[in-house]
Amino acid sequence: MHLLAFIWTHSHADAVSTQVVDSPNDQSFSPINKFLMQSYYERYMNLNDLDFENFMSQVDTCSLSEVLPDNHNFALRLSGLKRNLTGEGSHRSVSTLIKYKTQQSKSSSELLSYSCEFIIIERLPSGVFADPFELQRLVQRGVFNDIDVFGDTNLELPSFLSNRSVVEIHLVLDPNILEEPTEINVVLPLHARYQPLNESGYSTVEFGAPDMLVRCSKKEKVSNRYCFFKLENHDANISTRIVWKIPSGIKAHADLVSAITFIVALLSTFAIVVSSLYYSNSRLGKDLKQS
């Protein structure tokens, strides 16, 4: 996945997917849903990277020069992106440090009339999921402005029976801080699904770079018309590779584990039957004595 494919060029808009639910004639559109991924899943059934790139290529984008017509040199640039995997076991977190700055010739005071938010879309690899209830608690605590999970949200399914999911994170972007270099640190808690058996005793999943863009709208206008624009990445310091080794059962041990499980289940059943018979006989004896 190309890191700075935040908004792809319209040359990709002709791609056709067999998963398309609704295929509009226009090659560009302005999503009116609160979440971009909600608009995606209205068009596609499952998360597929090619479908997602085609979807993003059709998003009607604008530049900050359109928002600030008198400031044609205004640009929001990505200066650094660093990703880390923290924690241990099957419950870990992806930490993303985003550094950005502005390049402009005039003041950005005009942006104060706009409401802007930073949108991060995390396409999760197969075998990993985010708990929607856990994420909503983070919203209630003010960690995120808003967040939601799309795709396969069944938390109980093992890896080989589940589909991929995606997390969309919204953060408030304060126009007052755009004139200085700024950084955002996003920590997303994730969980591993049960992995299929293999010889090594673990499965490996690799994360791609997140997709990022900014969405603005006029504060005084009650409208669903948004302005989407991308970050430029000239000379950005980028480090995004994350590999998570998730423990799994060893295939060679399957027969032994199955045999032990069967014996334990059989002994447990026998113990329950003996306890039930003993209780019944004891109860019957008490009733005979009382009579």
Tell me what pLDDT residue 244 has: 92
Identify the helix (H) or strand (E) that includes residue 136.
helix 132-140
- CA dist 265 and 273 (Å) reads 12
Give, for all 291 residues of the chain, the pLDDT tens digit: 333 333 332 333 333 333 444 444 445 566 678 899 999 999 999 999 999 999 988 887 665 555 555 544 556 778 888 999 999 888 999 999 988 876 654 445 555 666 788 899 999 998 999 999 999 999 999 999 999 999 998 888 888 888 999 999 999 877 665 556 678 899 999 999 987 767 767 788 999 889 988 887 776 655 556 777 777 666 667 878 899 988 776 666 666 777 888 888 989 998 898 888 887 777 666 666 666
Q: Is the pTM of this model over 0.85?
A: no
The closest alpha carbon to 174, from 108, 129, 254, belongs to 108
The amino acid at residue 205 is: V
- Per-residue pLDDT at 120: 93
Residue 88 CA from chain centroid, whole number: 19
Helix (H) or strand (E) holding 98: strand 91-103
Supply angle C-alpha 169, 74, 32, rounded to 5.
40
pLDDT score at 9? 29
Q: Where are the domains of the chain?
A: 75-247, 252-290
Q: Which of 176, 66, 166, 58 is nearest to 119 (CA)?
A: 166
State which fold the 75-247 domain adopts: Immunoglobulin-like (2.60.40)
Local structure of residue 154 (DSSP, 8 states): -
The CA distance from 253 to 262, in Å, is 14
The H or E element that residue 38 is part of is helix 36-43
User: What CA–CA distance (Å, rounded) separates 123 from 178?
Assistant: 27
What tokens were used for 276?
């039930």
Amino acid sitting at position 169: I
d(CA 73, CA 243) in angstroms, rounded, equals 38
